[in-house]
Copies of this chain bind each other. A is one copy, B any other.
Amino acid sequence: MTELKNDTFLRALLRQPVAYTPVWMMRQAGRYLPEYRATRARAGSFMDLCQHPELACEVTLQPLERFPLDAAILFSDILTVPDAMGLGLYFAEGEGPHFERPVRDEADIRALRVPDMEEDLGYVLDAVSLIRRELGGRVPLIGFSGSPWTLATYMVEGGSAKTFARSKAMMFDRPELMHALLGVLADAVTAYLNAQVARGAQALMIFDTWGGVLSPRDYREFSLAYMSRIVRGLTREAEGRRVPVILFTKGGGQWLQHMAGSGCDALGVDWTKDLADARRIVGDRVALQGNLDPCVLYASPARVRVEVERVLASYGQGHGHVFNLGHGIHPDVEPDRAAALVAAVHELSPPYHLPAAAD
């Protein structure tokens, strides 16, 4: 493998000294970029983009051509694993994801198996290999998966949910069934992430998009427990380096102390939590990634810079911070705002990493 030229992101995730705060953006390869929309139009559907490694590679690299980002993230969908389990993922025009065969009862759940990674998810792994080669060591590549709870909600609801009626009814009335579903998903996600590392992913992120709709008790039992189980099963070293793992529960700001005990290296934090508070809560156990309100990118570039400075100041002196949005970039944002964000982080963050300030 080519030598990694910029390891700032990996070092920050491990709370090692860095000269500036590294930055990437959730959904940095996406609809806000005209070049993404062009590739997508050429590809046909969103799933075509995901399933053709050369297209997935193309869109993964697009934001890196525009902005000096410190990490690339595999372009894929969080629902590839349930699709590989036979649920039949499809996207209706202008709508969210749907499954042809949702999981509704005990028989459906007992029939689920961990998919064969090469056979059923080879298209994702081929994309990882190709992106890694095309990156040529510029920045590290992040692999990812949805969390078991998040995947389970889509599988039980048959798509996006407003109230989580079916998945929560199963959780409350048939907890043993929900646990069986989460168990097979945890095994599948573990295998999936390890396969991504085997093909070249240099850091991993678990997206727990819907953990925040649970009560604290239910969150620990039905979401965090399975993310922790995955973390314990992950390959943590590859190519002679540690492979850092980031957990991100949207709306999980109240549970950071529990998440920090999962064995992961870093926590994603959304904008409803001050990073100063988050840092006090997690202490020196994990690094933090976040947490600019993505709606700041609807404001002027000058204002973006002010808000970037506030996030940097909120984290404060010392290492262990990866700059990011608190959620994915919105599709109707102007790309020049993303440029302003990345430039501001690189220009304004070095004073927070001066040797005297290093921890």
Contacts and interface: CB of A to CB of B under 8 A. Distances in A.
A304 to B, nearest CB: 9
A359 B163 CA distance: 37
Given A164-B295, A165-B295, A254-B254, 5 more contacts: A165-B330, A166-B298, A168-B293, A216-B273, A251-B272
A298 B164 CA distance: 10
B272 A212 contact: yes
Interface string A95-111: 00000000000000000
Contacts of A273: 216, 254
Contact-residue bracket for chain A: 35 or more
A41 interface: no
Nearest to A168: B295
A172 B274 contact: no
A294 B169 CA distance: 11
A273 B218 CA distance: 11
B298 A169 contact: yes
A244 to B, nearest CB: 26
A136 B274 CA distance: 48
12 contacts: A168-B293, A168-B295, A168-B299, A172-B295, A172-B303, A172-B307, A212-B272, A214-B272, A215-B271, A216-B272, A217-B274, A253-B254
Given A215-B293, A217-B310, A271-B215, A169 B254 contact: no
A3 interface: no
A173 interface: yes
Nearest to A211: B272
A296 interface: yes
Interface string A306-348: 0100100000000000000000001010000000000000000
Contact of A299 (B173, B212, B299): B173
A172 B272 contact: no
